[in-house]
């Protein structure tokens, strides 16, 4: 598995490019970190890779997943997982149903799906919290539940948008290790955008995103 960006560039409605064209290779199981000043378009970059770009932005270049061009696919068929600084668990579903939301439909049978969710809860240290209201979890529990929800969807690549920045300092290290361990174990190519140097220190390659000279 691998994620490749080829001369990827995003243009605003008036035609100006947000940053210099970006070419990047993310091998399976490794974390590439993109750093850059705030406002340069880090989140927009992830939106474009995941297929969530807002109207008015235009994309040039290519996104390849396992060498397949996914640039024009809708977000739900790309199999690219997404994590934000907020866990964004669906507030109307229980913790378990949040995890089940991401399970592929190919996994059939009520018992098998429940078993998969319970196994993921166990791995995240959330055993027994299947029926809980996500609003009642602690910040760390919520972050782990969100990661498990993303991983259960069996993503071919993972995008992390400053995922640890809202956790307090003690939790941040744990959650970072927890996330990176899972990514490596499952050999998922992962792209992380952050302005926290500690995030970059634990990861592999670091790329700086700079504003476009003409911008």
Partner 1 sequence: MTRDGRLLRGVVLVAVGLGLIAPITLGLWQTARAAFGILPALGRDTLSLDPWRDLALLPGFATSLRLTLVTGVGSTLLSVLMATGFCAAVHARMTPAAGARLLTPFLAIPHAAMAVGLAFVLAPSGWIARALAPLAGWDRPPELATVNDGWGFALLVGLMVKEVPFLLLVILSALGQIPVARHMAAGRALGYGRGIVWIKIIMPQVWPLIRLPVWVVLAYALSVVDMAIILGPSNPPTLAVAVTRWFTNPDPAMILPASAGAILQAVIVAAGVALLIGAEAAMRRAGRWWLRRGGRGLSAEPGLRAASAAVMVLMGLGALAMLSLVVWSVAWRWSFPQILPESWSLRPWGGAHDGWMRALANTGLLAGATVAVSLALAIAWLEGEDRARRTRAPWAEALIYLPLLVPQIGFLFGLNVAFLHIGISSGMAAVIWAQVVFVFPYVMIALSDPWRALDPRMIHAAAALGAGPGRRLWAVKLPILLRPILTAAAVGVAVSVAQYLPTLFMGAGRVATLTTEAVTLSSGSDRRVTGVYATLQAALPFAAYLAAFAIPAILHRNRRDLTGAPAHEP
**Residues contributing to the site for partner 1 (CB under 8 A):** 47, 50-55, 74-82, 84, 86, 88, 90-92, 94, 101-102, 104, 133-136, 149-150, 153, 155, 159
Least distance to partner 1, CB of residue 75, Å: 4
Q: Which residue number, 135 or 170, has a Cβ lying nearer to partner 1?
A: 135
Q: Which residue number, 22 or 153, has a Cβ lying nearer to partner 1?
A: 153
119 vs 186: CA distance, rounded Å: 15
Cα distances (Å, whole numbers) of residue 25 to 29, 73, 128, 160, 201: 12, 20, 40, 16, 19
Q: Which residue number, 163 or 211, has a Cβ lying nearer to partner 1?
A: 163
DSSP string, 44-74: HHHHHHHT-PPTT-EEEEEEEETTEE-TTS-
Least distance to partner 1, CB of residue 214, Å: 26
19 vs 22: CA distance, rounded Å: 8
Least distance to partner 1, CB of residue 121, Å: 17
> Which two three-digit tokens encode residue 77?
């068929």
Q: Which residue number, 47 or 199, has a Cβ lying nearer to partner 1?
A: 47
Q: How many CA atoms lie within 13 A of 174 on its CB side?
A: 12
Least distance to partner 1, CB of residue 142, Å: 11
Q: Which residue number, 51 or 189, has a Cβ lying nearer to partner 1?
A: 51
> Which two three-digit tokens encode residue 154?
């069996």
Least distance to partner 1, CB of residue 76, Å: 5
């Amino acid at each position: 598995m691998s994620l490749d960006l080829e001369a990827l560039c995003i243009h605003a409605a008036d035609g100006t490019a947000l940053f210099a064209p970006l070419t990047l290779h993310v091998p399976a199981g490794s974390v590439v970190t993109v750093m850059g000043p705030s406002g340069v378009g880090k989140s927009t970059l992830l939106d474009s890779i995941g297929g969530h770009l807002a109207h008015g932005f235009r994309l040039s270049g290519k996104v390849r997943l396992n060498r397949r061009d996914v640039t024009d696919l809708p977000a739900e068929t790309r199999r690219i997982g997404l994590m934000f600084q907020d866990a964004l668990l669906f507030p109307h579903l229980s913790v378990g149903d949040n995890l089940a939301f991401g399970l592929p439909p190919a996994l059939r049978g009520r018992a098998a799906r429940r078993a998969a969710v319970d196994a993921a809860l166990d791995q995240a240290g959330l055993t027994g919290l299947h029926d809980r209201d996500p609003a009642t979890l602690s910040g760390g529990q919520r972050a782990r539940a969100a990661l498990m929800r993303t991983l259960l969807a069996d993503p071919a690549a993972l995008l992390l948008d400053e995922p640890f920045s809202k956790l307090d300092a003690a939790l941040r290290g744990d959650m970072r290790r927890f996330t990176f361990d899972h990514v490596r174990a499952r050999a998922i190519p992962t792209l992380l955008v952050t302005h926290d140097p500690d995030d970059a220190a634990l990861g592999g390659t670091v790329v700086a995103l700079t504003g476009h000279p003409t911008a």
